[in-house]
Amino acid sequence: MPSVRSLALLPLSLLLFTLLSMSCRTGNQSNQNGGGPSPAPSPGGFVLAWTAPNRDIKTAESADGLTWLSSNPRGTTTDTSLGPAIAHDGQLAWMLMWNDGTLLRYTVGLGIPTATERIVWSSSIERGPLSNTEGSPALAFGGTRYVAVTRVSGGRLMVIRSDANSANSWESSPTPVVLGATPPAIANGDPALAFGTVGGLGGVFVLAFQDSSFNIVTATSPDGLTWSAPTIILGRASAKDPSLTVGNGIVFALLAAHAGAGIDNFIFSSVNGVTWTQVNRSQQAPLNRPGPGLAFGVFRNGTCLMLLIEPVDRPLTVGMSSRVATPAAPCRPANLAFTNPVGIRAVGQTTDEHSDSRVAITFGTR
């Protein structure tokens, strides 16, 4: 049963649809089980979002990173190079946000993907809280609210937050991103944003982007408004936008940077969002393709799974690394080893999915 907080975060149109769907689904499960108890809730799953060549904003869902369900359009955008962002509230609610021209738009869904069940997505598309936007937004849920960071004219980074426990209402005006005592941040590319319990800091937002000097920098914030001074992860020109994910007290940053005549993917980890250690390097990342996405999931049974997804010559591909947690080493990957890329194709489809934008992927569990 969804929590009161998850239901409160939904627009009225989806709330009514969700309650009806839950009522029908509960009856179906009871019949399938001969009147017995409903199946146990899923331990968690991944949601992938991207912009298709026909300008559709699409999502696919997976419980294991191998089998993908759905890939239905959730909306459209005016520019295929603009990718969406997705966030999970730690319960059952999801938000999908994208840039349509110069306007942010979003829709919401409810559920945790399993091997057989999909998220229930709203058919309504809401106008977002910000206009005059450029590029792809970044989105995260932390504490009791959604937080979005996006570029506006001139490359300035702005943050806008939803009201507490609401996906309908947003702050009346955005706030410039100011890192420590520096002037308002200027980004040369699109930002990445994540929230989680990092080391001993408790719940914090972590922001990453390419600054005006072409460094990949990060900063942390307890509330999305007050940011720490920037820390340089990679002091060289990045070839693509960064991606962030948080799990088990660790924040991971995926960066694609020039290495000789090609581009390599680098994964760094940090327990405080300030000091970073390289834990993976993949040679010969795709050239002239948009940014990859990274997600780290910790399942209830102690299994960990990290997905690295990127467009490669148009089809989306996925690499995975999985380790089982033990009390002595609670799922803290030090050296990641990814499987060979596998094309992403939703169940029932005959061709792989394609993306013209950077991809977004998030893990969700209750």
pLDDT at residue number 34: 34
pLDDT at residue number 212: 84
Q: Which regions in the chain score pLDDT beneath 70?
A: 1-43, 237-239, 287-288, 313-314, 320-330, 333-335
For tokens 């900063």, what's the residue? Answer: 219
The letter for the amino acid at 98 is W
Q: What is the pLDDT of residues 186-235, one digit of tens each?
A: 888 899 999 998 877 779 999 999 988 888 999 999 999 999 999 999 88
For residue 91, the 8-state DSSP code is S
- Which domains are assigned to the chain? 4-364 (2.120.10.80)
pLDDT at residue number 324: 62
pLDDT at residue number 80: 87
Q: How far apart are CA 221 and CA 81, in angstroms?
A: 29
Q: How far apart are CA 353 and CA 350, in angstroms?
A: 10
Answer whether 167's CB lies under 8 Å from 11's CB: yes
Give the global pTM.
0.86
Answer whether 285's CB lies under 8 Å from 256's CB: yes
Identify the CA nearest to 100 among candidates 58, 56, 162: 56
Measured between alpha carbons, how far is residue 196 from residues 70, 91, 208, 245, 351 in Å? 27, 14, 14, 9, 36
Q: How far apart are CA 248 and CA 117, in angstroms?
A: 26
Q: How far apart are CA 2 and CA 228, in angstroms?
A: 35
Answer whether 50's CB lies under 8 Å from 359's CB: yes
Q: Which residues are within 8 A (CB) of 23 and not within 5 positions of it... i.e. 6 or more apart?
A: none
Identify the CA nearest to 318 among candidates 66, 132, 63, 92: 66
